[in-house]
Amino acid sequence: MVSVKAPLLLVASAILAIIGFFVAGLILGEASTSIEKSMFAVGVIFNAVLMFLLSRMTKSNASAASSKQTSSSIPNDDDEFDESDEDVSTLYVGNLPYRANEQIVKEHFETFGYVRSVRLMKDKRTGKRKGFGFVEVSAQEADSMIEKLNDSEFQERTIKVRPAKDKVA
């Protein structure tokens, strides 16, 4: 979840900048020296830099929070089994189109059985999808889904579906 502090700081900075511009405008109207004008310019630049940094901080917090969540990873009340069930198999899905998102992959796999969650891998630096991911499915349907979906066409690409290997720490 995005911290509430960053947006509040951004709003507070904007309000202070507006008040500062108003007060500086009153002062500048009577300013006759170049020192007062340059002090005003420095204040304007400082406020602009502060607002830029706060907006970047807000965006980075939001992107970090959204990258930790997937749209389909949390089952709802209508799902066939709850989160505590261990009757789940993870499938590796490779050669996915880069334009495919979690929801589209989930919908495609759900035509062949129950899908608990979908995680598509992204490059940490660029945020672009890598073309592979993992789908958690019902363990009873996993073999059937692998058989039906492996080497099948999905959005003009031949996808590879296999049981996922355990992650080595």
User: What gap in Å lies between CA 38 and CA 104, rounded to an integer?
Assistant: 56
- How many alpha carbons lie under 13 Å from residue 64 in its C-beta half-sphere? 9
Specify the residue for token string 């947006």.
7
| Angle at the Cα of 82 from the Cα atoms of 166 and 105, rounded to 5 degrees | 60
Query: In the structure encoding, which two tokens stand for residue 13, read together?
Result: 């900075």
Per-residue model confidence (pLDDT) at position 7: 63
List per-residue pLDDT tens for the chain, 169 residues long.
445 565 666 666 667 666 766 666 666 665 556 666 666 666 667 767 766 776 666 665 555 554 444 444 444 444 444 444 568 999 999 999 999 999 999 999 999 999 999 999 999 999 999 999 999 999 999 999 999 999 999 999 999 999 998 877 6
